Amino acid sequence: MTHFHSAILCAALLAAAPLLKAQANDSTIVKEIQNLRSVSTVQRPAVTIQIAQQIQTLPAGKQKVAYADALSNLVTEGDQGQDALQAVADTLTKALAETPISAKGDQPPRPYLDLARLVYYEHVTTTLNDPLYAQALKVLEADQADVQKADFTLKDLHNKKFTLSELRGKIVLVNFWATWCPPCRLEMPDLDAIYTHLQSQGLVVLSITDEDGFKVNSFIGPSGYHPPVLLDPGGKVHKLFHVEGIPQTFVFDRDGKLVAVAEDQRTQRQFLAMLAQAGLQP
């Protein structure tokens, strides 16, 4: 989407804001969130911003937090742009400020972690001043420290072994995915094209799944997907990388340093931006 089209969409939403406020209700918001994946990629940023605005008009309460949190898990699918990401972060910030969620156990509640992920990975801002949000940021920082130290050896569909630490000197993109995951399937053609184009420059793409090998092979065989697909029985490497949702992508530079992380579906442009942080240019 061009900046010109984005500006027009944002202007239209601002003009319609009073009407949106009058019409916002729980059933409408639930339906729009459920249907968001079916909206075209061109229209989706504007629709996401509209839903965020509608949620903000709701009375304070846990339901408002739940809607904002659900939207935060959808805005990261694909390249919806910073305006949509920030609108959702602002909505979740407002909902949590109005209705703080109590922690159960040692971990901060999911909405705080999801807001922290938007700030940490998507580079939005928040004004939330809450100890649980600060704790959520520390959890993410600790997770990334663990990933930096992580190593693994897994076999691909042809029984060939790949060890992460032995790939020093290469730029390594590690992508966690599954056959049943729609956002995973959407980003695979872009990953395939990038791998095919940049393999000669030292790029290695490792696609890791914890599914059964027969099922994965049945899916991959007809697809023509070229990057190595590694099997992670029992999800041991998923746990090592603190992967709780897929797709999730990690990029390591030639020295083995973790330089970029993405949660959820990325576009080709976004993948290339991540690889650029490792010094790889198309």
Residue whose C-alpha is closest to residue 66's, from 35, 39, 99: 99
CATH topology assigned to domain 150-276: Glutaredoxin (3.40.30)
Distance from C-alpha of 222 to C-alpha of 220, rounded to nearest angstrom = 6
Sheet with 229-231: strands ordered across: 161-163, 153-156, 229-231, 203-209, 171-176, 248-252, 258-263
Cα 4 to Cα 1, 85, 230, 270, distances in angstroms: 8, 18, 42, 20
pLDDT for 223: 86
CB 195 within 8 A of CB 227: yes
In tens digits, what is the pLDDT along the chain, a chain of 282 residues?
Answer: 333 333 333 333 333 344 334 346 888 999 999 999 999 999 999 999 999 999 999 999 999 999 999 999 999 999 999 999 999 999 999 999 999 999 988 889 999 999 999 999 999 999 999 999 999 999 999 999 999 999 999 999 999 999 999 999 999 999 999 999 999 999 999 999 999 999 999 999 999 999 999 999 999 988 889 999 999 999 999 999 999 899 999 999 999 999 999 999 999 999 999 999 999 987
pTM of the model: 0.83
The residue behind tokens 């049945």 is 218
* HEC-encoded secondary structure of the chain: CCHHHHHHHHHHHHHHHHHHHHHCCHHHHHHHHHHHHHCCCCCHHHHHHHHHHHHHCCCCCHHHHHHHHHHHCCCCCCCCCHHHHHHHHHHHHHHHHHCCCCCCCCCCCHHHHHHHHHHHHHCCCCCCCCHHHHHHHHHHHHHHHHHHHCCCEEEECCCCEEEHHHHCCCEEEEEECCCCCHHHHHHHHHHHHHHHHHHHHCEEEEEEECCCHHHHHHHHHHHCCCCCEEECHHHHHHHHCCCCCCCEEEEECCCCCEEEEEECCCCHHHHHHHHHCCCCCC
Rg (CA), the chain: 20
Distance from C-alpha of 277 to C-alpha of 258, rounded to nearest angstrom = 10
Geometric angle at alpha carbon 199, from 202 and 165, rounded to 5°: 45
Domain ranges for the chain: 3-124+132-144, 150-276
pLDDT for 106: 87
pLDDT for 22: 39
Nearby residues of 67 by Cβ (< 8 Å), 6 or more positions away? 26, 29, 30, 33, 55, 58, 95
Q: Which two structure tokens, joined as six digits, stand for 199?
A: 């393999």
